[in-house]
């Protein structure tokens, strides 16, 4: 790996300057907090929170969802799409 380079004036390169400074909020699993045991495809309001405006499922690294719930969520979204409860894309 390359070391962070220093400029002529002694300051570090801008590529590594964003590592510290801002506080980042810790992600948490919404299903664990609300004690939801199974993600249901009929709960469209819940599923819409995990879908972006294009209709894609938001990944777990962004939402903070645990792996077991992310798998259930993706299956529930796909079933809801098949039954026309959710759109496949934003064009519908």
Q: What is the dihedral sign for C-alpha 68, 70, 36, 34?
A: positive
Domain contains 42: yes
Amino acid 24: pLDDT = 74
Tell me the two tokens of residue 62. 């962004």
Q: What CATH number does the domain containing 65 carry? A: 4.10.640.10
pLDDT at 66: 94
- Report the pLDDT value the prediction gives residue 6, as an integer from 0 to 100: 62
Alpha carbons 39 and 72: distance in angstroms, whole number: 6
The rounded distance, in Å, linking the Cα atoms of 17 and 12 is 7
Give Cβ neighbours of residue 27 (< 8 Å, ≥ 6 apart).
63, 64
In this structure, is residue 8 part of a structural domain?
A: no
Chain segment 72-88, per-residue pLDDT in tens: 999 999 999 999 999 99
Average pLDDT for 54-78 = 95
Contact between 46 and 57 (Cβ < 8 Å):
no
Tell me what pLDDT residue 23 has: 74
**Total domains in the fold of the chain:** 1
56 belongs to a structural domain: yes
| Residues 6-54: tens digit of each pLDDT | 666 666 655 555 566 677 777 889 999 999 999 999 999 999 999 999 9
pLDDT of residue 26: 79
- Give me the phi and psi of 62, to 5 degrees please: -95, -45
Q: Model-level pTM?
A: 0.71
Contacts of 74 (CB under 8 A, 6+ apart): 57
The range of the structural domain enclosing residue 77 comes to 37-83
């Amino acid at each position: 790996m390359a070391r962070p380079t220093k400029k002529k004036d002694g300051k570090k390169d801008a590529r590594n300057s964003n590592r510290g400074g801002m506080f980042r909020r810790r992600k948490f699993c919404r299903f664990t907090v609300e004690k939801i045991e199974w993600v249901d495809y009929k709960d469209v309001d819940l599923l819409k929170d995990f879908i972006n405006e294009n209709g894609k499922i938001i990944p777990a690294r962004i939402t903070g969802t645990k792996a077991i719930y992310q798998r259930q969520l993706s299956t529930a979204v796909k079933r809801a799409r098949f039954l026309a409860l959710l759109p496949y894309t934003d064009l519908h």
